[in-house]
A = this chain, B = another copy of it.
Amino acid sequence: MAIHHFVPTAWHNVLGTLPPVLRCADGDTLVTETLDAVGYDRNGIFRQPPPNPMVGPIYIEGAEPGNALRVEIVRMTPTRDTGWTRVGLAPNVMDPEAILGLSPDARAVWAIDRAAGTVQLQDPVPGLERLVLPIEPMIGCFGVAPDLGQAFSTATSAKNGGNMDYRAFGPGTTVWFPVAVPGALFYLGDCHALQGDGEIVGTGIETTFEVELRFSIERQRPMVWPRGETATDIFSVGNARPLDQALQHATTDMLNWLVADYGLSVTAASHLMGQVVRYDVGNVYDPAYTMVCRIAKKWLPPRRRA
């Protein structure tokens, strides 16, 4: 149960089968730092080109294909006094005819008050002079190596995780990824101080973090898509386009989860899901969109499988 303080010196723009930069045992804790989405570090030094430079891969000793890699997000501490966003709504979240007059991308800088835990625009625009928002740290992009020797850009997401940009991937949340290669090969980066649903300007408030994670291996949890658990909810993640298909993946996964781990019949799981399910939108900006199917734990029967 070691704690690894890892200072990366190289980063990757894909999640794939690459030489590990660190080896962790089942149960170990990792404390590391992330670059922002375009490769600047806590000191504003450029370290790696975009998209979304990743720390990793971290080899988890003993993780084998078919296992689940459990990742607890223990802590996320912002390490810079500024973050940035793209200014304009992304073309793909707008009606096609509505964007004919929209101007091109630009960036805005947000001041991060780390003591207060808030952000505000460094140069407020009219109407937003008084907008002060609480930070809600989250990991934009993380996951494991996919199967077959595939390697996916950190601009997108798939069954192995990747650039999902879901708000609930923050401190206190536990996430499971399906292990597809020996050692799982975990990657991490692209953290946000705050982000609305959909990442509809193409960014959250992009900045650098110190992140603390704890890894463990679950050998009896066959999985297809990433899953997670917060203090109050469990959730399944689907990554695809269109959003309809991401929703189909997440819904199918939740059904399978309720049947496999909570002992429900398909009928019982349908009854429950039909009346209590919640959908959350991760990003609708990347090549693959992210849709989350979520259920409050208070409605669940006891788990049969620990």
Question: Of A33-41, A86-94, A214-222, which stretch is located at the interface?
Answer: A86-94
A9 at interface (Cβ–Cβ under 8 A)?
no
A13 to B148 CA separation, bound complex (whole angstroms): 7
User: 1/0 contact trace for A231-270 toward B, CB 8 Å?
Assistant: 0000000001111110111011001000000111111101
Contact A275 B133 (CB under 8 A): yes
- Nearest-neighbour CB distance to chain B for A82, whole angstroms, equals 15
Contact B95 A96 (CB under 8 A): no
Question: Of A61-69, A70-78, A122-130, A181-189, which stretch is located at the interface?
Answer: A122-130
Contact A247 B198 (CB under 8 A): yes
Task: Please indicate which of the listed interface residues A108, A242, A247, A255 has the most CB atoms of chain B within 10 Å of its own CB.
Answer: A247
Number of interface residues of A (CB under 8 A): 85
Instruction: Pick the residue among B16, B197, B299 that contacts A278 (CB under 8 A).
Output: B197
A7 at interface (Cβ–Cβ under 8 A)?
no
Contact B96 A275 (CB under 8 A): no
Please report whether the interface of chain A is mostly helix, strand, loop or mixed according to DSSP: mixed
**Residues on A facing B (Cβ under 8 Å):** 12-14, 16, 85-100, 102, 104, 108, 119, 121, 125-128, 130-131, 133, 148-153, 194-201, 203-205, 240-245, 247-249, 251-252, 255, 262-268, 270-281, 284, 287, 289, 299, 301
Contact A151 B153 (CB under 8 A): no
Contact B198 A270 (CB under 8 A): no
Contact A195 B275 (CB under 8 A): yes
28 contacts between A and B (CB under 8 A): A14-B149, A16-B149, A87-B267, A88-B266, A89-B251, A89-B270, A91-B97, A91-B100, A92-B96, A94-B248, A95-B249, A96-B248, A98-B252, A99-B100, A100-B102, A126-B263, A127-B264, A128-B264, A128-B268, A131-B272, A133-B299, A150-B151, A151-B151, A198-B247, A200-B274, A201-B270, A201-B271, A240-B241
- Nearest-neighbour CB distance to chain B for A285, whole angstroms, equals 10
List residues of chain B with CB within 8 A of the CB of A281: 247, 279
Whether A247 contacts B104 in the complex (CB less than 8 A), given A268-B127, A299-B131, comes out as no
What 6 pairs across the A-B complex have the smallest Cβ distances?
A201-B274, A91-B96, A196-B277, A243-B243, A279-B281, A151-B151
List residues of chain B with CB within 8 A of the CB of A262: 127
List residues of chain B with CB within 8 A of the CB of A13: 148-149
List residues of chain B with CB within 8 A of the CB of A89: 251, 255, 270, 273-274
* Closest B residue to A281 using CB positions: B279
Task: Please indicate which of the listed interface residues A12, A205, A249, A275 has the most CB atoms of chain B within 10 Å of its own CB.
Answer: A275
List residues of chain B with CB within 8 A of the CB of A96: 90-92, 94, 96, 99, 248
A276 to B270 CA separation, bound complex (whole angstroms): 32
- Nearest-neighbour CB distance to chain B for A97, whole angstroms, equals 5
